[in-house]
Amino acid sequence: MKMTDTVTLAAPLTLPSGQVLPNRIMKAALSEGLGDAGAGPDDRLERLYSRWAAGSYGLVVTGNVMVDRRYLGEPGNVVVEDDRHLDALTRWAKTTQDGGSPIWMQINHPGRQANPLTTEGRVVAPSAVRLAIPGVPTPRALADAEIKEIISRFATTAAVAEAAGFDGVQIHGAHGYLLSQFLSPLANRREDRWGGSIENRARFALEVVRAVRAAVRPGFGVGIKLNSADFQRGGFSEDESRTVIALLASEQLDLIEISGGSYESPAMMGRPVQSASTREREAYFLEYAVTVRELAAGIPLAVTGGFRSQTAMAAAIADGACDLVGIGRPTVTTPTAALDVMTGDLDRLTSQQQRLPVPSRLSGTATARSLEGALDLQWHTDQLHRMAGGEDPDPARPLWRTAVTTVRRNGIGALRSTRNVKSRDARAVRKFRFERNVGRYLANPAVAALNRLGIGTHLATDLETVGRKTGLARRVPVSAAFDSDGAWVISQHGTRSGWGINITANPTVRIRHGRHWRTGTAQFVPDDDVVARARTFATSPLFAGLTSATIRALQSDPISVRITFTD
């Protein structure tokens, strides 16, 4: 479709299937985490989407809907494997349609990005290659028959979406999820027909598109979200992405949405360094989109990420750089964003970026950046949940309130989808998530800061392990009890802790004893009495109970670790 400079944001767009979008502004997918206890939609999603229904979007795309309830991207995902939730899905679809906006269901399989706390069994992927994120388990490589079964699941989910009245589906092939994993040479190291050349690595995505299109009527919308690149050395490149778009051009697609990055390298959040031209045009991936217009062979392109001003949006459409402008985070605080931009009520959308109130010398630390990113994401989730609860967005919401709701959500609500986990294990999971964050973002930085100031603590010292991916030294404060041959340490979260995973891969460690560092070999001792062991960490028998209670309060599945000195 060739664009001219007469095309405006308010102009309709006719898709190859014949479906007509009323204008050129798309509400991009935002994961809601609002599925009920049975992984179905309920009235909270209806309330949320009724707010977007008043926004006059040309297209509304839902957040992640999973094709397999065994593998969720995050707690609270809606799952569509069959028609058990058909009535609720129908009500969900109707919310935006009543406002005049078509709605597409984003369908997805997380692969190795499945949340391990909500997964039945081991996570799966094209190859047994783990994410470069601490604490994430190594996946199991999918068998050929399993790959075919997943393709069939995508088709089934699309057919149910059509039966429920959705106007289309968007296949998620970006951001490091399963389709993206097959495309990436870092994640896909298969030597069969699903791996190797880019044509083989693209086979899974092509087969999913074909199966979905075959399962729905010709006028039902089918789109795909695709990375321009992974933004990782040795990963899925822009040249490979162009090859995939050329392959997709011969399929019966209605829309290709361009994004980029993964949760290892989150380009979709604007994290890579941006060029001056990108900053001027605002959209992170617009320059790439221009280079694939001809390759797409008439399939409309949407670009999401970075658009904020009416001027930049209008220029992107008028110049023919893309056919749809996707906006995500701004719709969290301005649910009527499309209407406000097209009527001129707003010249520029705002997107809140949360910052930790810490001194500048600390703001650049890895701990501060990690906490800041997590809270920023949760702050936006809070806004979605406010609208789902019938409240208005709160742009002035303080970050400390988000910290409170994050703990509450992680400890109770966010794990409602772990209905197949034994109650005792579910409590351990909730405790693990909460106490790990307390240790990572409060206790550990506090101890480290005291040590830098030369202030020692009775219950903490430093343990140095070898990073299993980087080979670099990684230090973390731990509690320890020393003797002449070594030391006892408690891994508060067992083999799931970051340093626990490190010593599983390489048991050689260093531990600070007073002012000296000792080298040793670490070994898990699961039969040791952790409660009794914790009491030995006290500096006096009078404080044994208090010491044990303090350590116990910050653990989930503790395991004793014996470090035997080797120096």
417: CB partners within 8 A, 6+ apart = 35, 37, 39, 72, 75, 76, 77, 118
Q: How confident is the model at residue 527, as a pLDDT?
A: 83
Q: How confident is the model at residue 357, as a pLDDT?
A: 65
Task: Name which of 283-287, 396-400, 404-408, 495-499 the model is least confident about.
Answer: 404-408
Q: Is residue 417's pLDDT more than 50?
A: no
Give 83-98 pLDDT, tens digit per residue.
999 999 999 999 999 9
Q: Is residue 66's pLDDT more than 60?
A: yes
Which amino acid makes up residue 562?
R
Sign of CA dihedral 16, 22, 28, 30: negative
DSSP 292-353: TTTTTTT--EEEESS--BHHHHHHHHHTTS-SEEEE-THHHH-TTHHHHHHHTS-SB-----
Task: Name which of 69-83, 213-227, 271-285 the model is least confident about.
Answer: 271-285
Average pLDDT, the chain: 81
Q: How confident is the model at residue 133, as a pLDDT?
A: 66
Q: Which residue has the higher pLDDT, 492 or 380?
A: 380
The alpha carbons of the chain give a radius of gyration, in whole angstroms, of 25
Quick one: average pLDDT of 421-429? Answer: 45
- Most confident stretch, 26-35, 207-216, 298-307, 346-355: 207-216
Q: Would you place residue 531 in the very low, low, confident or very high pLDDT band (cuts 50, 70, 90)? A: confident
- Most confident stretch, 235-249, 315-329, 538-552: 315-329
Q: Is residue 554's pLDDT more than 50?
A: no
Q: Which residue has the higher pLDDT, 414 or 172?
A: 172
Q: What Å distances lie between residue 325 and 25, 231, 357, CA to CA?
A: 5, 22, 33
- Most confident stretch, 137-141, 220-224, 235-239: 220-224
Q: How confident is the model at residue 80, as a pLDDT?
A: 98
Q: How confident is the model at residue 490, as a pLDDT?
A: 85
Longest pairwise C-alpha distance within the chain: 82
Q: Which H helix or E strand runs over 524? A: strand 516-525
Q: How confident is the model at residue 411, as a pLDDT?
A: 40
Q: How confident is the model at residue 150, as a pLDDT?
A: 98
SS3 60: strand
Strand partners, 255: 223
Work out the percent of the chain whose per-residue pLDDT is above 90.
52
Phi, psi (rounded to 5 degrees) for 132: -85, 55
Quick one: average pLDDT of 295-309? Answer: 92
Give 441-475 pLDDT, tens digit per residue.
444 454 455 444 444 444 568 889 998 777 788 88
Q: How confident is the model at residue 51, as a pLDDT?
A: 97
Give 141-163 pLDDT, tens digit per residue.
999 999 999 999 999 999 999 99
Distance CA 350, CA 533 (A): 53
Q: Which residue has the higher pLDDT, 559 or 161?
A: 161
Quick one: average pLDDT of 364-375? Answer: 60
Q: Using an 8 Å Cβ cutoff, are 238 and 287 in contact?
A: no
Q: Would you place residue 285 in the very low, low, confident or very high pLDDT band (cuts 50, 70, 90)? A: confident
pTM to 2 decimal places: 0.70
Q: How confident is the model at residue 118, as a pLDDT?
A: 78
Q: Which H helix or E strand runs over 287? A: helix 286-291
